[in-house]
A and B are shown apart, each in its own frame.
Chain A
Amino acid sequence: MNILAIESSCDETAASVVRDGRQVLSNVIASQIDIHTLYGGVVPEIASRKHIEQVDPVVMQALADAGMTWDDIDAIAVTYGPGLVGALLVGLSYAKSLAFGLGKPLIGVHHIEGHICANYIEDPTLEPPFMCLVVSGGHSHLVNVKDYCEYEILGRTRDDAAGEAFDKVARAIGLGYPGGPKIDKVSNDGDPVAIDFPRPKFSDNEYDFSFSGLKSAVLNYLNQCEMKGIPIVQADVAASFQQAVVDVLVGHSMQAVDMYKVDKLVMAGGVASNSHLRAAMEKACADRGVRFYKPSPILCTDNAAMIGAAAYYEYKKNGCSGWDLNAVPGLKLGERV
């Protein structure tokens, strides 16, 4: 079954053709296309959220890259939440028109389920059940994946997402955007135990995360150094902050692995590209004899291939979506609307 999938929930406009949920035949992300080619040499001031101008060329590119025509496509999949409503609606309206016009099934997909399913592409042998840590700029979830399309949220952030904390701390210590990769790199030269930043834990749900307080603790530390005239060692601040995030993410994940007695731990989302997090998680898993899975960076970022993978299992289990499918900006993981 060949699924053409479209993703436009936040900044990226993306399209992909995926076969049977596991094999990527094409994977196009707008920000990676040569803009000169797309616009015939005229380069307009393109805001990242101009999905409406990008969705058509991106879809056509995905179809061409896969070496296919519409006759080869069996279904159209699209992200319908969570995300920015205007952005979601562009992809959704386009996908609906396409599916209706071609007389093919429409499959609505949850964005975070897509991130989780990116791992089915990375390792075609991976099967549920497994524990999954989803960490990105907009999301931080610890999810017990019981079966295909069956998710139990154990913990999530109560304020900022992990990736957001990286961006804001990077800005505060003068590293700039994108914060994740920059902190990752600078930390190689820093001392991760130089500063003891907080690792918050909640008594009413020990799997929940909170990163806003950690970000504030870093800013307070910087202010205190400034007032006392203590020089700030950028690499030490970055490494110590990152260590606090890594400790919390690995600690929570291992606690869940132990409690639910699963033998596989899977990571997903943009922050899953962080090299220190990968190394720490890999070691913690190895210590327990738990198998560790992580997608390659291209599948960690927002992309449509992951939506195509999720759509395949969604279709097999729950069939297609109705023509009244709407964008749901606050869609909860595991919810079906």
Chain B
Amino acid sequence: MSEEMIRETYSEQDTYELGYSLGREAVAGQIITLEGDLGVGKTVFTKGFAAGLGVEEYVNSPTFTIMQTYEDGRLPLYHFDVYRISDPEEMYEIGFEEFIYGNGVSLIEWAGLISEILPKDVTSVLIEKDPAKGYDYRKITIK
């Protein structure tokens, strides 16, 4: 996806639904990078995305295990959270390449921390707040 799309959401439900629609459209081999500050709604977006893929399991934060796979949806979902990664090299230790070049969909939270080892062709999702537009307002940039 090279063109840029900006969506504005005004509730958690909107953010969830945007994630859901992306999950429905996701294709095998796709890599989605997800960025945004703590508490901005990455978890809500991810839950929607997984539901859109048909995953019925609870999607728990993989902060401690770095990644978690879900096989019960339309495509396998590889959910990464690289928040605790201090050196991108550590990603190779968990077999990162086998997943991102695999047949499932990879969703990577805090992807900026490992940007040097990511392929160029990714769908990036950035969630931002703008306090001037209210506490629940989110600007979501997808490109």
Interface residues of A (CB under 8 A from B): 10, 47, 49, 82-86, 137-138, 156-161, 164, 168, 171-172, 212, 215-216, 218-220, 223-224, 227, 329-330
Q: How far is the CA of A85 from the CA of B65 in the complex (A)?
A: 9
The 3 A-B pairs at the shortest CB distance, nearest first, are namely A219-B39, A138-B64, A216-B39
Query: Helix, strand, loop or mixed for chain B's interface?
Result: loop
Chain A residues near B65 (CB, 8 Å)? 10, 82-84, 138, 329
Q: How far is the CA of A171 from the CA of B69 in the complex (A)?
A: 27
Interface status of B140 (Cβ within 8 A of chain A): no
Which of the segments B17-25, B26-34, B88-96, B114-122 contacts the partner chain? B88-96
Interface residues of B (CB under 8 A from A): 37-39, 41, 43-44, 47, 58-61, 63-69, 86-87, 90, 93-95, 129, 131, 135
**Closest B residue by C-beta to A138:** B64
Contact across chains for A85 and B94 when beta carbons are under 8 A apart: yes
Contact across chains for B94 and A215 when beta carbons are under 8 A apart: no
Chain B residues near A47 (CB, 8 Å)? 86-87, 90
Chain A residues near B93 (CB, 8 Å)? 49, 86
Chain A residues near B67 (CB, 8 Å)? 84, 329
Q: How far is the CA of A212 from the CA of B63 in the complex (A)?
A: 12
Chain A residues near B86 (CB, 8 Å)? 47
Extra inter-chain contacts (14) besides given A160-B60, A216-B41, CB under 8 Å: A49-B93, A82-B65, A84-B66, A85-B95, A137-B63, A138-B64, A138-B65, A157-B58, A159-B43, A160-B63, A164-B64, A223-B131, A227-B131, A329-B67
A-B contact pairs, 11 of them (CB 8 A): A47-B86, A138-B63, A157-B58, A159-B43, A159-B47, A160-B60, A160-B61, A160-B63, A161-B63, A172-B38, A215-B39
How many A-B pairs fall under 8 Å by CB?
A: 74
Chain B residues near A168 (CB, 8 Å)? 38
Q: Given A82-B65, A86-B94, A329-B65, A219 and B60 touching (CB < 8 A)?
A: no
Contact across chains for A171 and B38 when beta carbons are under 8 A apart: yes
Among B41, B59, B93, the most chain A Cβ lie within 10 Å of the Cβ of B93
Q: How far is the CA of A185 from the CA of B86 in the complex (A)?
A: 27
Contact across chains for B60 and A158 when beta carbons are under 8 A apart: yes
- The distance from the CB of A71 to the nearest CB of chain B, in whole angstroms, is 35
Contact across chains for B61 and A330 when beta carbons are under 8 A apart: no
Q: How far is the CA of A273 from the CA of B54 in the complex (A)?
A: 38
Contact across chains for A156 and B61 when beta carbons are under 8 A apart: no
Q: How far is the CA of A172 from the CA of B94 in the complex (A)?
A: 28
Contact across chains for A86 and B131 when beta carbons are under 8 A apart: no
Contact across chains for B39 and A159 when beta carbons are under 8 A apart: no
Interface residue from B44, B61, B94 paired with A161 (Cβ < 8 Å) = B61
Chain B residues near A159 (CB, 8 Å)? 43, 47, 58-61
Chain A residues near B58 (CB, 8 Å)? 156-159
Contact across chains for A330 and B68 when beta carbons are under 8 A apart: yes
Chain A residues near B135 (CB, 8 Å)? 220, 223-224
